[in-house]
Amino acid sequence: MAGKPGYDGAQDWRAPVRAREEEGAAGAANPFGRGDPAPFFFLSACRFQIGHNGALKIRITRQDPMTYAAITGWGKCMPPSVLTNADLATFLDTDDEWIVSRTGMKERRISHVSAIEMATVAAKRALACAGLDAADLDLIVYGSCSNDEQVPNSASGVQIGLAAHHAGAMDVNTACTSFLYGLSTASAMIRSGAVRNAVVIGVELISPYMDWSNRGVAVLFGDGCAAVVLQASEREEGVLAEKLGCIAEARQTLRVRGMGCAYANRNITLGDTLWDFDGQEIFKRAVGGMSQASEAVLAKRGVRPEDIDLVVPHQANLRIIESVVKRAGLPMDKVMLTVQRYGNMSAATVPVALVEALEEGRVKPGALMLMPAFGAGLTFCAHLVRWGERVTPIGHSDAELPPSPRSALEIVNGVRAIRAAQGGRSDAGLISVEYAEARQR
Ligand code: UT7
């Protein structure tokens, strides 16, 4: 990138990493010595062929500039109603001391609006931040596992809200990793040339299908949303490398019974859920998966832990984050934390933490970021992201949610009252379903 605007030698923030990458690559293939990578690049531009007369032919190919997917806009939409640990203790056998010491969480948000409304506000803010007109959007990727409806999809609801009439609209559901899987999807489509401008959303509205009688899960989750704008760029920005994975053999450790077609026609009221949640097993798998993925992306790009400027991890539990960060050889002061204030917002945690890191000035021009995550499935991933030059918004949107007429506790108690009036849960229907892992045995 040397020679491109803003990337002259004096300001070349990628120079140390690139030097190592080039040294590594050249060391493996450069017969002229590790110090000078030029012959390697010359060789990589050559195509060798043996002609029909047995002669060696060398063809020199032109290398087209690589297209990247730069993150040029960001915006969040957090519902205003706050549910504290003390609120939870009014109807659950729990207390602030247990929740804080086991999870790091102090409060979370409960939404009074639909997920699509949160996503639309966040996407409007991200578009204004990027200075991009909704009419110029080619793609909307909606990462979530708590869709307002199954059919039609949720991304189409955002498309109409934004008046982004030229955009394709798709949902991605890999549970808590949905935003990052969506980031990979949109980045790959930009790199391939299929689209140029995309919005990627991470949103979750968990409160309507939470089992509010189960203290093992009810204290952990919250609602929220954030979005980013991706735009084609020739600068080496956005996702530089990712590792995507799934420990499917452990998929039964996190299941929300009562959501999905498997539960249709079984006398189940939608919203009446039973959570299978093996916290300790998920904890172990989460630390293992996130650590393995983080190591893999660093190795892919020849990046050392000390080259990482900021870690923006999935926020499921402070202890999980601490373990992953320690294993990666990074200090906690390089980690963006929101878990205390928002709990686990599944797909929304990473983008909300990213937006807040920008708002707090923790993302510097050219910063190198690591984003590890895991979720039901058990999906896991890690992304290595290079930030661009701009860390401030181009513009601001006046999009706002309507004020909440009720407190978070009133909303939750409203859900609990509706469930109670329906006569409690329909256990038989929730339990008798046969799952994919059973059919495979
Ligand atoms: O994004 C993916 C979502 N999944 C996760 O993030 C889950 C990862 N797992 C975890 O974060 C932790 O395993 C939890 C926070 C869920 C649980 O922490 P833990 O240290 O593994 O506790 P535990 O499950 O071993 O439970 C310890 C005790 C139990 O009591 P006994 O059997 O020792 O008497 C639980 O019944 O704590 C009890 N307990 C609670 N006590 C007060 C469980 N939930 C609560 C609660 N309040 N809310």
The predicted-structure confidence for 295-326, as pLDDT tens digits, reads as follows 999 999 999 999 999 999 999 999 999 999 99
Here the tokens at position 308 are 């990482």
The residue to mutate among 103, 253, 283, having the most atoms of ligand 1 within 8 angstroms of its beta carbon, is 283
- Please work out whether the CB of residue 316 comes within 6 Å of at least one atom of ligand 1: yes
pLDDT tens for each residue of 53-82:
777 777 665 556 689 999 999 999 999 999
Read off the DSSP letter of residue 65: P
Question: Residue 380: phi, psi to the nearest 5?
Answer: -145, 165
How crowded is residue 55: how many other Cβ atoms within 10 Å of its Cβ?
8
Here the tokens at position 437 are 């892992």
Domains and CATH numbers, the chain: 19-63 (no CATH), 68-428 (3.40.47.10)
Check if the beta carbon of residue 144 is closer than 8 Å to that of residue 173: yes
Interhelix angle 115-130/154-162, rounded to 10 degrees, is 50
The residue to mutate among 91, 102, 339, having the most atoms of ligand 1 within 8 angstroms of its beta carbon, is 102
pLDDT tens for each residue of 238-247:
999 999 999 9
Q: What is the pLDDT of residue 56?
A: 75
Alpha helices by DSSP H, listed for 30-82, are 38-44
Q: Is the peptide bond before 152 cis (omega within 30 degrees of 0)?
A: yes
Q: How far is the CA of 101 from the centre of ligand 1 (A)?
A: 10
Atom 12 (ligand 1): residue with closest C-alpha?
A: 279
User: Which of 279-283's residues contact partners 24+ apart within 8 Å by CB, and which partners?
Assistant: 279/216, 281/250, 281/253, 282/250, 282/253, 282/254, 282/378, 283/317, 283/319, 283/320
What percentage of the chain has pLDDT greater than the value 90?
A: 79
Q: What is the pLDDT of residue 24?
A: 40
Atom 42 (ligand 1): residue with closest C-alpha?
A: 94
CA distances (Å), origin 221, targets 138, 203, 363: 32, 13, 26
Atom 47 (ligand 1): residue with closest C-alpha?
A: 94
Is 176 an annotated catalytic residue? yes
* Rounded CA separation 339/319 (Å): 10
Is the pLDDT at 294 greater than 90? The verdict is yes
Among the listed ranges 29-33, 139-143, 145-149, which one has the minimum average pLDDT value?
A: 29-33
**SS percent in the chain: helix, strand, coil, step 5:** 40, 20, 40
pLDDT tens for each residue of 210-264:
999 999 999 999 999 999 999 999 999 999 999 999 999 999 999 999 999 999 9
Check if the beta carbon of residue 249 is closer than 8 Å to that of residue 410: no
Here the tokens at position 238 are 């956005």
- Identify the active-site residue in 176, 197, 225, 317: 176
Judged by DSSP in three states, 118 sits in helix
Check if the beta carbon of residue 387 is closer than 8 Å to that of residue 74: no
